[in-house]
Structure 1
């Protein structure tokens, strides 16, 4: 069995808002250049992106929103939300590729073709069921969770998020869903978009106590994260996890232009190693945010290196 699969290809890079935008199409190139410089392509199975069917998006998103997304994709004009997420020509097709690739990775993990998989343009955790948000036209995290539940009948899926921004689109979509074990480290919402993810938000109904939000103060560093992580790992181990998803946003690293945390790539690699050791042995890593190109190249390749060790 190949240990780590990594998806690369220009089709994935098409999800982006132009090189002048923080979420530009050049982010894939920054990752891939460092990936190849380190020779990681020799130690991983490199796979092409997979375009999904529209039905994949419909697993999570409302029909009215998908119709809007398809219409704006043709014109490339306007916004998909109140002003954070601009439309671009082909955004619908680019979103299908992100979702299709993430679900293909899930299938391969379930089939035992690899133990870990990394998708470098994914982790779009802000989009809601009925709309876009925060640079996220669709929510591939939510889509793959629904896919794992419906296609593979899983009932204990861990979602771990270390992006600087709270994964609100995932949290609120599954706030009452006991099948989703949720852990999210993020900059305190009093200081950063989207303003959510208080420690008191622990799930509702049957899911009460199955969600763990850990807001971090501005300038939080590796020392603080290392002190807080064991409790999160213990929380995850208290459930018999069948599948684990890591959203490894690099905007939590010091020097990001739009956030205020001060983690280093070492933390991202350490989290990847810790999750790789969970008994479920199925780990899907989604790239998430990160707007300093040097940071994202280092952090995500440190993650891949940790997965491949």
Structure 2
């Protein structure tokens, strides 16, 4: 059972069956239970009465998906959605019947969140099953069928004229789909701390990846050694915050992957949820200064269920405390 709407306000959470269905079956790290784990976390932390919880309304259209993705990739997912067997990438992301529609629902939820922020209906929005940062313009990767972030960035520009957009990522994995999708774009301000790619998928995000051509200098990658804890987080975050302060974006996206917390089965960082709280608090402060308060939080990765509940609930709490 999903939580009912309690209170309309400046902080929204988009949660419901349409995005809960995004997952890859029993035994897969990205299971469908992650959504309910998040909702239980909201209850346990007494947050359900402090935010406005609503169902995502619609899937992304094919035209919206193709704002970022190639037509060939979208057609491939459509075909595999009918066949419902095999893999959508090199073996991490299984196909299943209806995967196209389910993945389009995630993109639709992120687009809806973007609309709420761009139109001023909300100051902060959180979408738990979203932040699929590995999908490239032309392929699926790492549990990510479509890249909802890439579609959102293109849509914010097309529909709302928002140009300078900050992508802030504390997920343990490098946001390679976003980085390479906008590597030459000087107005996508990319700030990503992650486990060093020499030790973890996708193997990218080195210090010297600072953008390409006109995008050079608009990207900051901070690879951290396996075992890095909150002390290393604080140091890296100080650098990221200074970088974001200098950039003065008009809109903030925070990918709050819980797989950077100690105990994740796929990664090796040792943060606590205090890192997620600090990042969310700082991004809200920057957004109030430069971006009319607009912050979109996305769940991203996280495969230890206790960590998922703790990290994402902490982000929502910071959102609620900041308005």
Shorter chain as denominator, the TM-score bin is over 0.9
Is the CA contact (8 Å cut-off) linking 1:188 and 1:218 kept in structure 2?
A: yes
Instruction: Choose which of 7, 26, 30 in structure 1 pairs with 2:14.
Output: 7
Partner residue of 2:182? 174
1:39 Cα shift? 2.5
Is the CA contact (8 Å cut-off) linking 1:69 and 1:80 kept in structure 2?
A: yes
Q: Show the 5 A alignment for 1:25-174.
A: 25-51=32-58, 52-174=60-182
CA deviations 1:252-307 (Å, max 9, x no partner) are 00000010000010100110000000121100011000000001011100110111
Is the CA contact (8 Å cut-off) linking 1:19 and 1:26 kept in structure 2?
A: no
Q: Show the 5 A alignment for 1:148-227.
A: 148-227=156-235
Q: Distance in 2 between matches of 1:109 and 1:46?
A: 15
User: Does 2:24 align with 1:17?
Assistant: yes
Moved more, 224-233 or 292-301: 224-233
1:40 Cα shift? 1.2
TM-score computed with the length of structure 2 as normaliser: 0.94
Is the CA contact (8 Å cut-off) linking 2:193 and 2:223 kept in structure 1?
A: yes
1:50 Cα shift? 2.4
User: Does 2:269 align with 1:257?
Assistant: no
Partner residue of 2:312? 300
CA deviations 1:224-261 (Å, max 9, x no partner) are 11022112111101122100000110100000001000
Q: Distance in 1 between matches of 2:162 and 2:313?
A: 29
Structure 1 portions without partners, runs of 5+: none
Q: Distance in 2 between matches of 1:213 and 1:284?
A: 20
Q: Distance in 2 between matches of 1:87 and 1:119?
A: 23
CA deviations 1:36-70 (Å, max 9, x no partner) are 23221100011111222221111111111111101
Q: Distance in 2 between matches of 1:111 and 1:151?
A: 11
Structure 2 portions without partners, runs of 5+: 1-7
Is the CA contact (8 Å cut-off) linking 1:221 and 1:263 kept in structure 2?
A: yes
Q: Show the 5 A alignment for 1:260-299.
A: 260-278=268-286, 279=289, 280=291, 281-299=293-311
1:202 Cα shift? 0.4
Q: Distance in 1 between matches of 2:140 and 2:85?
A: 15
CA deviations 1:16-42 (Å, max 9, x no partner) are 001210000000011111112322110
1:184 Cα shift? 0.3
Q: Distance in 2 between matches of 1:259 and 1:268?
A: 16
Alignment length (residue pairs)? 309
1:219 Cα shift? 0.3
CA deviations 1:170-217 (Å, max 9, x no partner) are 000100001100000000000000000000110111111110000000
Is the CA contact (8 Å cut-off) linking 1:164 and 1:187 kept in structure 2?
A: yes
1:8 Cα shift? 1.2
